[in-house]
Amino acid sequence: MYYFKIIKHKKLLNLLFQAQAESAEIFLKDLLSRRLTRVDKNFYKINPEEVLYLDKILENFKTEFFPLLRSAPIPFSFILTKTQIEKATDTILRAGKIYLEEPVRDMIDSFLKHSNIFYKIEPWKNLWELILPSTVDPKIEIFYKDIFWYGDRNPCFFCKTSWHESYNCPSLLDPEPRNTFQSALNLHFREISQLLWEGIYEEGLTSEKLKYFYIRNFYLLPEFLKIIFYKYDVVETWGHLKIDMETPLRGGNLGLGLEYLIKGNLDNAKREFSEIEDDFRASIGLFFINILIKDFRSALYYLERTLFQVNTPFLKSYLLFLKGYLYEYMGETAIAEEFY
């Protein structure tokens, strides 16, 4: 006797099903309850021979909700365990996949060998993935797109995933994100897709191979302020912007504050920027500091103050974009649209 645990990917579930999210979850659990004995809200007892039912159950769910799912996976993961333990796993679990703990793998494999069903058992981190016809990935380039909705945290301000806190985003560690973005433009989409998958599958979410994904929003990163700080008198419109513009290091409170900000030394950055009066660039620096410490109301205050100090279309549009983006990030989409 083993246990079959359901793990809900809430963000993906809400994205795909919206108002029908609760109905979809109830429907899935009803399908499972017809074949398996439910022992808790997310646990069912399962015998090896009952694994054969899982493929039909998942296929029925996909058929029922095909208009909403299309090529997307079922927004739940499943684990076969030897004991009924509620502890959360640190392993990344993909939506629509069935995983086996080590003590369960051999028994399930031994049983399925004598069945007529197609299956594979392949390693996945510290677990094993049981592949059935209903869990096979679609034949699309980014077949692993469900991972981008993985995680329970609030989205990162910079890369929009829920894999980490904003202040821990790997994009902040890239010393030259604009150059990284520029080099990404020389890669075929398939190459980038393969690199992302290798990073996720082989190494984890902090892999160097994910750098092209993390820095795609390079204009949100503190490093982009080198252009805002030092080239604002050259870049009057977005048409004048060149991603690879050289931005030499500068001294003084402003230059030191920016370098501290880029390196994540927020206390020193705040001290340097606070020494400067009536310079819009210091206010932008303080905006980013407050983003990183999650003080969004203070961030808006500094952004509002900056908007009254700039004149060029480039700076105005950049700041209005940041304002709209921040409101959207805070969930106030109606207000955000006004500034977009």
DSSP-assigned letters across all residues of 248-297: ----HHHHHHHHHHHHT-HHHHHHHHHT--S-HHHHHHHHHHHHHTT-HH
Beta strand pairing status for 120-124 and 43-46? unpaired
Give the CA-trace dihedral at 33, 34, 36, 39, to 10 degrees. 30
Q: pLDDT below 70 — which residues of the chain?
A: 86-88
Which of these, 14, 49, 18, lies nearest to 35 by C-alpha position? 49
- Other beta carbons within 10 angstroms of residue 103's beta carbon come to 12
Give tens-digit pLDDT for 50-92.
Answer: 999 999 999 999 999 999 999 999 999 999 999 887 666 778 9
Q: Which CATH class is domain 221-339?
A: mainly alpha
pLDDT of residue 257: 97
| Candidate CATH numbers 3.90.660, 1.10.10, 1.10.3470, 3.30.70; the one for domain 2-137 | 3.30.70
pLDDT of residue 84: 83
pLDDT of residue 251: 86
Per domain, the residue ranges of the chain are 2-137, 153-218, 221-339
Collect all residues with Cβ–Cβ distance below 8 Å to 117 and sequence separation of at least 6: 52, 55, 132, 133
For the whole prediction, is pTM greater than 0.85? yes
Q: Quick one: tokens of 263?
A: 């390196």
